[in-house]
Homo-oligomer: A and B are copies of this chain.
Amino acid sequence: MFVKIRKATTKDVPEILNLIRELAVFEREPHAVEVTEEELLQDGFGENPAFEALVAETKNGIVGMALYYYRYSTWKGKTIHLEDLIVKQANRGTGIGKLLFESFLEEVKKQGVRRAEWVVLDWNQNAIDFYEKYGASILRDWHLVQIDNQTIMKNSK
């Protein structure tokens, strides 16, 4: 199967949103996706884009993507955060995830940042094994903390 990894364009947005929804189902949070096509278009493809994405394209269309953006570490300076690495269920186990991840690492090298980072679910041992093969470190002593806007509104005068 011929797979091409390339930067995402505006035309890919509907398929990108489908992949995002598929990942939310896999991560057992099918109703968590609030983002819309319009927002993805505006946020990722206008001036000062909030993210970039690599897509894996076959003759059947987009079958996977790696979506990332810059962050800032007060220890390491600019870093790159891999927000999503997604391969369509029907195409898993065919090396597309590896291709996408390695293209992402090439991008990290090209940008010359000191670190790249992302998160993984503790029960997703396949993913943990995959990342460790590349020498990535799994940090088990940090917790993510989140607060949504409704909670902030409720707790402030």
Contact = CB atoms under 8 A, between A and B. Distances in A.
A109 B149 contact: yes
Contacts of A29: 75
A76 to B, nearest CB: 6
Given A35-B74, A109-B149, A143 B115 contact: no
A51 B35 contact: no
Contacts of A139: 143-146
A149 B73 CA distance: 14
Contacts of A154: 135
Copies of this chain, count: 2
Interface in A116-137: 116-123, 128, 131, 134-137
Contacts of A83: 71-74
A136 B151 CA distance: 8
What range describes how many residues of A lie at the interface? 35 or more
A94 interface: no
A119 B146 CA distance: 8
Given A32-B75, A35-B75, A74-B84, A131 B152 contact: no
Interface string A31-65: 01111000110011000101100000000000000
Contacts of A131: 145, 147
Interface of A: 20, 23-24, 29, 32-35, 39-40, 43-44, 48, 50-51, 67, 69-78, 81, 83-84, 102, 105-106, 108-109, 112-123, 128, 131, 134-149, 151-156
